Amino acid sequence: MGEGVVSVPTVDRRAVLRAALLWLAFLAPFFYLTYGVANWLASQRAEVPNLAFGWERHVPFLAWTIVPYWSINAFYAFSLFVNETPQAVGRLGRRYLTAQIVAVTCFIAFPLQAIFVRPETHGLPGFMFDVLGGFDKPFNQAPSLHIALLVIIWDHWRRRLRGAALALWHAWSLLIGLSVLTTWQHHVIDIPTGALLGLFALWLFPADGPSPLAGFRLTRDAKARRLAIYYAAGAMGLLLASVLVTRDNGAGLLLLWPALALAIVALGYAGAGPGVFQKQANGRISLASYWLLLPYRLGARLNVFWWTHRLAPAVELADGVFLGRGPRRSELSTYVAIIDMTAEMPAIAAPGLAWHAFPSMDLLPLDAGRIREAALVVAAASQHGPVLICCALGFQRSAAVATCWLVRSGLAPNAAIAGERIKAAGRPVHLRFETLAAIDEAAR
């Protein structure tokens, strides 16, 4: 195996080949059928709008970039065959299918057209443009399905390549992405919307675990339902604003990003749970989660600043155990371990720092088992040096764990007194009756 390719265990190549052929036999005709229908429906409209900025007229037409533009078709098919298991083939196929269904739905509901007329082109590029024009009419624009598929395929190969091969893949992927503009196939706004769609497909079918919506059950918790409604209302408001702003300015489509972020968070509160943030036990989050939920995280960070900028970052409870908000990079050298109760915030890497994440939804109470599990890790980690127990603000989720640790360590007789001790140390914790009961149960 070449130096640039990651070694993988021996696999059943026949099973992978069979799964890849079946998926390709379904996806290829489905792609051309649905894409063609969307084009035909748009062509029947009396007027199809366009979303292009005036400065886009300065984007050069580079005929040769039709080659990288077309190359995604080969990678689309070939990537199905480069997998370790039939299940991995199915995951990639579902990602393709998700991007296709969402994009075509948008093309039918809100068709747009490209307005630039390409100059006459000869030779191989001319032939390739002629073939492309046979089925790809200038209507299927935002979100760019080309870019959505590129994000999916780029992620597929970046996990399998190393060294020079990986660098070459990044460069070629960038060229494919730019080619949608330099072939005058798409306008600029199509690119971020297409990337958003590709990331959504990666998020929906992650490589490192089950789908965040697998086993979704509508919550019975009244507070969780209320929070889900609030976030869903915010998502709908941003979606409406996007539609209204886009009438005058194509940049309004960028509001789809925070709208999708809030919709995902709403799903978390509605019953999907902290899995929507795709945070692992070491605090790392998936690439898709990082970018899809970035608008929400920026809002969360502003909220942290608003509530904690006049407070100390953390307070020491006893024996080198601290309670506080999520740490900044400059504060990490103080600790040997971080006990992180947030689902929404990613870990910050630092040499020699152990990061223990217990992803939990903000503003919702922790159950006794979760509190006990985290408190035991605090006790073990504190044997090696200073430990920080944190959540976004350091008021509820982390406070519950800190309170349990105080009781289990014999430093407080019960949760209520432990909570008062934390307040006396300067941390304004908010622990409700049901949380105090769960802490006392966890401390037994």
**Could you tell me what percentage of the chain is helix, strand and coil, using 3-state DSSP and rounding each to the nearest 5?**
60, 5, 30
Domain check: are 293 and 324 in the same one? no
- Give every CB contact of residue 444 below 8 A, 6+ residues apart in sequence: none
What is the structure's pLDDT at 92? Answer: 98
Cβ atoms 53, 123 nearer than 8 A: no
Range of lowest pLDDT (11-15, 98-102, 238-242, 436-440): 11-15
184 lies in some domain: yes
Domain check: are 328 and 434 in the same one? yes
pLDDT at 129 over 80: no
pLDDT, average across residues 98-124? 83
Cβ atoms 317, 406 nearer than 8 A: yes
pLDDT at 45 over 80: no
370 lies in some domain: yes
Domain CATH number, residue 369: 3.90.190.10
144 lies in some domain: yes
Domain check: are 293 and 338 in the same one? no
Model pLDDT for residues 326-350, shown as the tens digit of each residue: 999 999 999 999 999 999 999 999 9
137 lies in some domain: yes
Domain check: are 292 and 358 in the same one? no
Domain end point (choices 249, 279, 299): 299
What is the structure's pLDDT at 112? Answer: 75
Domain check: are 55 and 157 in the same one? yes
What is the structure's pLDDT at 312? Answer: 95
Of 106, 390, 391, 404, the catalytic one is 391
214 lies in some domain: no
194 lies in some domain: yes
Domain check: are 86 and 180 in the same one? yes
Model pLDDT for residues 144-202, shown as the tens digit of each residue: 899 999 999 999 999 999 999 999 999 999 999 999 999 888 778 889 999 999 999 99
Whole-angstrom Cα distance, residue 204 to residue 167? 27
305 lies in some domain: no
Domain check: are 274 and 232 in the same one? yes
Confidence of residue 5 (pLDDT cuts 50, 70, 90): low
318 lies in some domain: yes
Whole-angstrom Cα distance, residue 181 to residue 166? 24
Domain check: are 19 and 149 in the same one? yes
Domain check: are 275 and 180 in the same one? no
Range of the domain at 80: 13-204
Domain check: are 373 and 406 in the same one? yes
Percent of residues, the chain, with pLDDT higher than 90: 73
What is the structure's pLDDT at 1? Answer: 43
Catalytic: 390? no
Check: pTM over 0.95? Answer yes or no.
Answer: no
Whole-angstrom Cα distance, residue 355 to residue 335? 10
Domain end point (choices 176, 204, 232): 204
Number of domains observed in the structure of the chain:
3
Confidence of residue 120 (pLDDT cuts 50, 70, 90): confident
CA 137 to chain centre: 31
pLDDT, average across residues 244-268? 88
Q: Which of 192, 203, 173 is nearest to 290 (CA)?
A: 203
Cβ atoms 308, 274 nearer than 8 A: no
E-strand ranges in 343-411 read 354-360, 387-391
Secondary structure class of 211 (helix, strand, coil): coil
Domain check: are 65 and 188 in the same one? yes
pLDDT at 299 over 90: yes
Domain end point (choices 204, 235, 260): 204
Domain check: are 88 and 235 in the same one? no
What is the structure's pLDDT at 119? Answer: 78
Range of lowest pLDDT (3-7, 288-292, 423-427): 3-7
b (16+ CB within 10 A) / e for 288-312: bbbbbbebbbebbeeebeeebeebe
Whole-angstrom Cα distance, residue 406 to residue 422? 9
What is the structure's pLDDT at 186? Answer: 79
Secondary structure class of 387 (helix, strand, coil): strand
